Structure 1
Amino acid sequence: MPVKPRRLKEGSVVAVISPSLAGPYIFPKVYQHGVSVLRDELGLEVVEMEHTRRPNYLMRLNPHLRGQDINDAFMDPGIDAIIATIGGDDSVRVLPHLRIQDIIERPKVLMGFSDTTTLLTYLAYKGMVTFYGPTVMAGISQIRHYPRSLEHLREMLFHPSAEHTYRPSPSYSEGYPDWSLDSSVGSISRKKRAPRWKVLQGEGRAEGTLFGGCIEVMEVLKGTRFWPPHTFWKDKVLFMEATEQMTSLTRLKQIMRNYGTMEVFENISALLFGRWRGYTSQQRREVERIIVRTVTEEFGRSDLPIIMNMDFGHTDPQMILPLGVRAEVDPTGPTLTLKESPLL
């Protein structure tokens, strides 16, 4: 059984951490706006850790300081939840500094996406439910543009149910206006009609435990002690999404082939992908061909349900996906349904 944190309530204390990029130091107004959303819209008390706002050069040279903030947040009995300020590219350097057993024994809501994948997947692999969802600066700061997304955040973290079916958003946006401009604070790029969730293959319902994150970040973890062993992958619902850096088609093919060689496709029960930010329609079609060709032709999983264009990752709005929780994938909808509450 996974170790589950307790649900939040009005007045709960949330610590904001910077495990990767020193975003609050670089773009303080975007950060402060996100903090105001947590306070004003959700009724949370927000506290900063010692190094949340420290400059980037200091944080990059001292990953142990970032690890210290994470450890301190988990050890502090007055803190109920922890949310990353933003992603970055080197949070993997923080993992050796975590007091992993102490953290697992004191489960708390931990949420972020992108480079926070390192923390979320490592702790989920070790047995604690974690949450792939918006960060303070990317997603929460802009969430007022998507009222349903704000309600979804409340549903997932404050009022989780024993069963929850995700709903696709009719619109989405990619990225944000220039954060160096005051006029961009809390703003989103132009909304577009959201592509439908697309079933590439699979017919019957599949059930398994959610696990996944950012494709590029998970590549950094493979082969390390922070990555799950072969036996871990049985009956997992694996979800993946790519960054705004736009992974090349050649690289994507290599990554998919690597998962197949590791016998991940052989063991998982379903495969989910977020929206492909920045890709043209032609590039998205080629992405789909690569995925199906690799999974089906090269590794023989023509029965594996695969769904594309789902509402998580580097576009808004963002679904919140709890790693370590049982979920059902139904290609006929298509639908994704949590089969248990992620929180106590």
Structure 2
Amino acid sequence: MIKYPSLHSGATIGVTAPSSGVPVELHELLRQASSRMEAKGYSIVCGETAWMQDKAKSAPARVRAAEFNEMMCDERIDLIIPPWGGELLLEILELIDLDNVQNKWILGYSDISVLLLALTLKTGIATAHGVNLVDLRGEYSDETTAMWEKVLSTKLGESVLQHSSPYYQKEWQHSNPSPCVYHLTEPTSWKTVSGEKVKLEGRLLGGCVDVIRHLIGTPFGDVRQFQKSYIHDEPILWYLENCELNTADLRRSLVHMKLAGWFESCSGIMFGRSSANRPVDNYTALDVYQELAEELGLAIIYDMDFGHVPPQITLINGAYAEVETADGKGSIRQTFKD
């Protein structure tokens, strides 16, 4: 059975950096984000790692793991939101105290998705793939991003509905700050490999392909055991996004997942928008999606609202999802089913 945490008003947010922290020159971003959350009624407990960054990580693995373990066991802290992603979260997995992991939300994406997926697979506790803390520093959030609170407030047995965004951000404009943080200028269009209307349903699992692929073959990547132990052998609906891989590396990663059995008992695959997907010798991301759809005999939706091209829907690892898309628009209904 999946165990779902629940967000309540006035909750305390623990901010720790299990991957990258915030360097000194960007500390103001973290202060702004913390102030915005406090203005919304949350309390903030900022760990030391959030303010640190050196050698591609906030701190040595044991320091990062110790602070994360402490926040997970601290009854005052209701949920954990890292400042952002990074590069080397994988280093701390073997140091996490899985026997004392508490039923509280962890929200994030990018390198944080390694932690999210590993924890859900190992413990059956639902985790939340969505916005990082620093991206909540604006005066307000767009309607897609703002749904994180409603999603995390959903109770066991209830459902929450999210829709495709009206517009997405083509590129970051750090020199042109705006009240919403994101500059949403490009019309959103969810696409399907078949070009037709698609409906998918299954238990959600996923994250950033660049990093979650490294769970394969480890004790933290046993998808089949997760299906047996926690979701009654129900099919998995994968959501995957690409941060930096060219199309050949993306293809290798997906074949690796297939050979490892990750796509067995799979009901479909969803891909987030990506500014990577650089073609190799005219081999495009669409070619990758089409080949995978043919090999697996599954429907694939792509250019969806999650990942490194904002805004993004909040997706819950372990939740039961019903996804529909037609004519470029779509919806995701997640049910917190045990």
Q: Relative to structure 1, is the Cα distance of residues 163 and 213 closer, same or farther in structure 2, using a 3 angstrom cutoff?
A: same
Aligned residue number for residue 98 of structure 2: 100
Q: Relative to structure 1, is the Cα distance of residues 280 and 253 closer, same or farther in structure 2, using a 3 angstrom cutoff?
A: closer
| 2:153 is the alignment partner of 1:158 | yes
Q: Relative to structure 1, is the Cα distance of residues 277 and 204 closer, same or farther in structure 2, using a 3 angstrom cutoff?
A: closer
Q: Find the residue that maps to 1:264 and give its secondary structure.
A: coil
Task: Tell me the distance in 2 between the aligned counterparts of 1:86 and 1:163.
Answer: 27
Q: Relative to structure 1, is the Cα distance of residues 78 and 189 closer, same or farther in structure 2, using a 3 angstrom cutoff?
A: closer
Q: Relative to structure 1, is the Cα distance of residues 83 and 44 closer, same or farther in structure 2, using a 3 angstrom cutoff?
A: same
| 2:241 is the alignment partner of 1:241 | yes
Structure 1 stretch displaced more, 26-35 or 55-64: 55-64
Query: How far did residue 25 of structure 1 move?
Result: 3.6
Structure 1 stretch displaced more, 204-213 or 94-103: 204-213
Query: How far did residue 184 of structure 1 move?
Result: 4.1
Q: Which has the higher helix share?
A: 1
Q: Relative to structure 1, is the Cα distance of residues 203 and 316 closer, same or farther in structure 2, using a 3 angstrom cutoff?
A: closer
Matched to 1:8, the amino acid is: H
| 2:7 is the alignment partner of 1:7 | yes
Residues 260-296 of structure 1: CA distance to partner in whole angstroms, max 9, x if unpaired? 2223333211211111125689999921221221331
Task: Tell me the distance in 2 between the aligned counterparts of 1:283 and 1:331.
Answer: 31
Q: Find the residue that maps to 1:263 and give its secondary structure.
A: coil
Matched to 1:330, the amino acid is: E
Task: Tell me the distance in 1 between the aligned counterparts of 2:166 and 2:150.
Answer: 19
Spell out the pairing of 1:219-258 with structure 2 (5 A cutoff). Answer: 219-232=213-226, 235-243=235-243, 245=244, 247-258=245-256
- TM superposition score normalised by structure 2: 0.86
Task: Tell me the distance in 1 between the aligned counterparts of 2:170 and 2:64.
Answer: 29
Spell out the pairing of 1:1-344 with structure 2 (5 A cutoff). Answer: 1-9=1-9, 11-23=10-22, 25-40=24-39, 42-57=40-55, 62-103=60-101, 106-126=102-122, 127-137=124-134, 139-142=135-138, 144=140, 146=142, 148-149=143-144, 151-158=146-153, 162-178=158-174, 184=177, 188=181, 190-201=183-194, 205-232=199-226, 235-243=235-243, 245=244, 247-277=245-275, 286-296=284-294, 299=295, 301-302=296-297, 304-331=298-325, 334-340=330-336
Q: Find the residue that maps to 2:93 and give its secondary structure.
A: helix
Query: How far did residue 151 of structure 1 move?
Result: 3.6
Contact persistence 1:305–1:331 (CA under 8 A) = no
Task: Tell me the distance in 1 between the aligned counterparts of 2:97 and 2:14.
Answer: 17
Task: Tell me the distance in 2 between the aligned counterparts of 1:184 and 1:330.
Answer: 34
Task: Tell me the distance in 2 between the aligned counterparts of 1:176 and 1:12.
Answer: 31
Task: Tell me the distance in 1 between the aligned counterparts of 2:88 and 2:280.
Answer: 32
- TM superposition score normalised by structure 1: 0.85
Total equivalences in the alignment? 327
Task: Tell me the distance in 1 between the aligned counterparts of 2:273 and 2:281.
Answer: 12
Matched to 2:190, the amino acid is: W
Task: Tell me the distance in 2 between the aligned counterparts of 1:284 and 1:125.
Answer: 36
Gaps of at least 5 residues in structure 2 are 228-232
Contact persistence 1:143–1:149 (CA under 8 A) = no
